[in-house]
Chain A
Amino acid sequence: MAIKLKEIAGKEEKLVSGHRLCAGCAESIIVRQVLNAIDEPVVVSAATGCLEVGTSMYPFSSWRVPWIHSLFENASSTIAGAEAMYRSLVRQGKIEDRGLKFIAFGGDGATYDIGLQWISGCFERGHKILYVCLDNEAYMNTGIQRSSATPMGAHTTTSPAGTVIPGKVQWRKPLTEIFAAHNIPYVAQASPSHWRDLMEKTRKAIAADGPAFINVLAPCPRGWRHDTNETIEIARLAVQTCFWPLYEVKDGEWHLTYRPREKRPVREWLEKQGRFRHLFTPKFEHLIDEIQAEVDRRWERLLERCGEK
């Protein structure tokens, strides 16, 4: 499973340059990290969203692998259909078994919200697919609307920070835990800042005998309001503040895959992003303590689950 930098660097890219994703977008970085971790031939599906419109604008395609987009909510079922066909044709001896791997990419809107039922169904039925969520914490492609992945306190265009309401008022949905509760062989949470961790998780996910899910935090300079050269740094801060812990649930066993030497205050992550700017005003400042308390609560529970306490 070990990732060798030299070996990775020499690999042919499967998502090539020339696509239309924004400067500083984490999505293409994550997709390249995921796909470069896989040695087997892959078939990819994508949900409607930034990744899809940014890489498939007719008559161009940025994909050097078979790729399909159907709709917003059904990237999981679409790739599961392809996987089912592959199994069927191989079993019937109609095609050769070349160890194909089937991967779906969806944003948080496609994964946490509109597509949840489809993914849940695919996981329950045991399709051998890897679903990767590119979690940029809002509907960025359509203009930064809130999703159930948007953190409490964040300004979006449908949870705007006003004079009365301080941005989104709900806590984000714990999706990684929801998929862990599906008892599938592999579930993990990852960040592009910890690329080796992400790539190793990808290899474990691909090797799993059944469905796998990786939730990857994907900072979005447009929606999070940060400079385009800060993407990876902000992803790293999310991990170091324990807002976005790195862990995996392999065959039901919870493991923390990275423990920050020093848990930094969540304020450091928040203040880097324009979407939380209003929290740093006297009226809403108390919310930072509430957010810290929730991060602490979730982190402590995770430590317990991982046997780290």
Chain B
Amino acid sequence: MAKSKVMALDGAHAVAEAMRQINPDVVAAYPITPQTEVVMTFSNFVADGLVDTEFIPVESEHGAMSTCIGASAAGGRVMTATASVGLALMLEAVYVAASLHLPIVMAVVNRALSAPLNIHCDHSDSMMARDAGWIQLYSENPQEAYDNVIQAVRIAERLSLPVMVMQDGFITGHGVERVEVLEDGAVKEFIGEYKPKHSLLDVDNPATYGTWDMYNFYFEHKRQQTDALSKAMPVIVEVGEEYGRLTGREYGILDTYGMEDAEMAIVVLSSTAGTARVVVRGLREKGVKIGLVKPRVFRPFPAEELAEALAHTKAVGVLDRSIAFGSMNGLGAGPIYLELCAALFAAGNTTTKVVDYIFGLGGRDIVPAHIEKVARDLAEIAETGKVKQMVDYLGLRE
């Protein structure tokens, strides 16, 4: 295992630290729509000559992703960071980055979308981008954000696909925690040298990027794009295992707790998994057969892995930090719920009852009592086999 040092970092600084060690060739980012301290911290590294990066402080998030596209097509390592409506603004170009198979790595500090204006945590921003063709990794805490960003470089370059690494705004982004930071050399060795297959700068072998496709080719290109994503899971696992050998922190697709004999399960992304784990641990000590599933990967969606993990459960409570407005006859379930239901159905599981809890929108706190309520609901559903409410809310005043 490689040596590491312990630092007190919030999620934003942990990501900036990882970026310093990755030493990308180009970083293009916009500082506020809103942004976090990722870019400001990284700017200091540039100003102090600690990185070789060409840092482009652009005029908007759309400009950020547009610049990243040109830079990545030119054959070097490219990173950026964004949040909230900033991600919404660049979304058009986010699709282009994936469609051109450019291995850009983007740190996303999850924050709510407007309106009303709100800069606090929820997952509306990255969930809006879930079908853009990027790989999506969600991080529970600053350590995971740091680890995921480093692994994202390898995953992106192996697959020629862009990767976004999420962490919860403020809760993780501004929450200082203990982070084990690798030595610079270990990170450098782990990510290796990037050798692009093609480069816009190769004037001796000129290539055309971003063609115009008619109906006779567009469909095939989209098929190739989805094919590329279908090959991502084994690579994510392989990189996670290798990272585990380096650090002792192994990463897979799902992080499970207490699922061996669980009849009930809670499924949740990112920082709330920490709160849920505490509650689940307490309940298990009392003999309640409940477990926790935290997907680390949302794109590609781990349908098979989730179906397997939940195969023997009677009741599952999904905690969604965003709403897919209009879904389920306008009830507005969350994206995790919708995809999980599809995954269970596709796996032939029609017995597990699944309910959705929308929580934490715009930074609304979620506390153990909320999750205890979910556990009580699940116990009732497991016992009766009846769902009273498909979509419920946690911490909402009504």
Binding site for B on A (CB under 8 A): 41-43, 45, 52-53, 56-59, 61, 63-71, 73-74, 77-89, 91-92, 94-95, 98, 100, 117-118, 120-121, 124-125
Cβ of A65: which chain B residues have Cβ within 8 Å of it?
A: 203, 206
Within 8 Å of chain A (Cβ to Cβ): is B210? yes
Q: B73 near A82 (CB under 8 angstroms)?
A: yes
CB contact under 8 A between A85 and B210, given known A77-B66, A78-B70? no
Can you report 11 A-B residue pairs in the complex whose CB atoms are below 8 A from each other?
Answer: A42-B203, A58-B212, A59-B217, A68-B208, A78-B69, A80-B56, A81-B74, A85-B201, A88-B26, A92-B25, A121-B60
CB contact under 8 A between A80 and B70, given known A58-B212, A121-B59? yes
Cβ of A121: which chain B residues have Cβ within 8 Å of it?
A: 58-60, 63
Cβ of B71: which chain A residues have Cβ within 8 Å of it?
A: 81-82, 84-85
Binding site for A on B (CB under 8 A): 25-26, 28, 52-54, 56-60, 62-63, 66-76, 78, 92-93, 96, 100, 200-203, 206-214, 217, 221
- State how many angstroms separate the Cβ of B314 from the closest Cβ of chain A: 49
Nearest chain B residue, comparing its CB with the CB of A121: B59
Cβ of A83: which chain B residues have Cβ within 8 Å of it?
A: 70
Cβ of B207: which chain A residues have Cβ within 8 Å of it?
A: 66-67
Instruction: Specify which of B52, B63, B76, B217 is in contact with A85 (CB 8 Å cutoff).
Output: B76
Nearest chain B residue, comparing its CB with the CB of A74: B66
Q: B59 near A118 (CB under 8 angstroms)?
A: yes
Q: B92 near A71 (CB under 8 angstroms)?
A: yes
Q: B72 near A88 (CB under 8 angstroms)?
A: no
CB contact under 8 A between A57 and B56, given known A67-B209, A70-B93, A74-B63? no
Q: B54 near A87 (CB under 8 angstroms)?
A: yes
Instruction: Specify which of B59, B66, B68, B206 is in contact with A63 (CB 8 Å cutoff).
Output: B206
Cβ of A53: which chain B residues have Cβ within 8 Å of it?
A: 212
- State how many angstroms separate the Cβ of A98 from the closest Cβ of chain B: 7
> CA separation between A83 and B26, bound complex, in Å?
10
Q: A52 near B212 (CB under 8 angstroms)?
A: yes
> CA separation between A215 and B288, bound complex, in Å?
73
Nearest chain B residue, comparing its CB with the CB of A95: B201
Nearest chain B residue, comparing its CB with the CB of A20: B212
CB contact under 8 A between A81 and B69, given known A61-B211, A117-B60, A124-B59? yes
Nearest chain A residue, comparing its CB with the CB of B58: A121
- State how many angstroms separate the Cβ of A145 from the closest Cβ of chain B: 19
Cβ of A67: which chain B residues have Cβ within 8 Å of it?
A: 206-209
Cβ of B221: which chain A residues have Cβ within 8 Å of it?
A: 58
- State how many angstroms separate the Cβ of A241 from the closest Cβ of chain B: 36
Cβ of B78: which chain A residues have Cβ within 8 Å of it?
A: 81, 85
Instruction: Specify which of A57, A87, A125 is in contact with B214 (CB 8 Å cutoff).
Output: A57
Instruction: Specify which of A45, A81, A95, A117 is in contact with B28 (CB 8 Å cutoff).
Output: A81
Cβ of A61: which chain B residues have Cβ within 8 Å of it?
A: 208, 211
